[in-house]
Amino acid sequence: MGLLETTISGRKRRNSHAHVVSELGSAIVSGRIAEGSLLPNDAELSMRFGVSRTVLRETMKTLAAKRLVEPKAKVGTRVLDRSSWNFFDPDVLGWRCEAGIDQEFVKHLAEIRLALEPAAAAAAALQASNEDIVSLYVIAAKFDNPQHTPESIAKVDLEFHLAVAHMSGNPFMRSASGLIEAALAISFQLSSPAASPDTIAEIASNHLRIVHAIAARDADAAVKAMRHVIEVGKDRTQKAIKTV
């Protein structure tokens, strides 16, 4: 289950390893466990979570891979500074979302999307196959449904943007899928266009412009259309934060 679905629906399924990773990761990213501090020793953590030492070792390996902690012999496992954290990791992004959304975080997410997704749209315009374009039209048509729920339209939006990233042919673009999903999860959680048929129609039209530009092999128009979609989403989210 991805970040977008769990953020909107609240449903989570975890085994013991995933549970401990989530509890510790969330505590670190939220600041409940301070940067630079040492985690409790294995015996204490094992007792607290009711898991084996083997599960704890795997947990620490997972958190270290996310650049949240660093184990050192004879010292212990230290929480790394925020500047080291891998915010491209979907779990880290999810924990950051759970910690609370503010204007700065929305701005930063939009900035990285604006740096990547318009370029992906331009690349798609230059090299997407006819089959790719037909598939993108099919996805775009799914927006035009006044019966959308927040979850259903969010899934369509994610499918669309990931398809454009795939059509770019650039594996680095595809690797940014976690950032795209986080931005959409936040946006649709705070202010879903599903609340208004007029807004759904606007979203559908804006995304269709991207497809038309790609189909016309017009890279500049694809860039402009994608930037507009991202800016509209950012503005909608920031307005929603102000009213919370």
- The span from the CA of 114 to the CA of 152, in Å, is 24
Closest CA to 191 of 233, 147, 145, 237: 237
| Neighbour-count burial of 241, counting CB atoms closer than 10 A to its CB (0-12 exposed, 13-18 middle, 19+ buried) | middle
* Residue owning tokens 């230290």: 78
Tens digit of pLDDT for each residue in 80-93? Answer: 999 999 988 889 98
Q: Is the pLDDT assigned to residue 6 strictly greater than 70? A: no
Q: Is the pLDDT assigned to residue 4 strictly greater than 60? A: no
Q: Where are the domains of the chain?
A: 3-84, 101-243
Better pLDDT: 3 or 66: 66
* pLDDT, position 151: 87
Q: What is the mean pLDDT of residues 197-216?
A: 95
At residue 11 the predicted structure's pLDDT band, cuts being 50, 70 and 90, is low
> What kind of fold does domain 3-84 have according to CATH?
Arc Repressor Mutant, subunit A (1.10.10)
* pLDDT, position 103: 86
Instruction: Report if pTM > 0.95.
Output: no
Tens digit of pLDDT for each residue in 106-156? Answer: 888 889 999 999 999 999 999 999 999 999 999 999 999 989 988 899 899
- The span from the CA of 24 to the CA of 161, in Å, is 31
The H-or-E segment that residue 40 falls in is none
Portion of the chain with pLDDT greater than 70, in percent: 93
* pLDDT, position 197: 83
What's the mean pLDDT when you consider all of the chain?
89
Q: Is the pLDDT assigned to residue 166 strictly greater than 80? A: yes
- The span from the CA of 150 to the CA of 157, in Å, is 11
> What kind of fold does domain 101-243 have according to CATH?
Four Helix Bundle (Hemerythrin (Met), subunit A) (1.20.120)
At residue 24 the predicted structure's pLDDT band, cuts being 50, 70 and 90, is very high
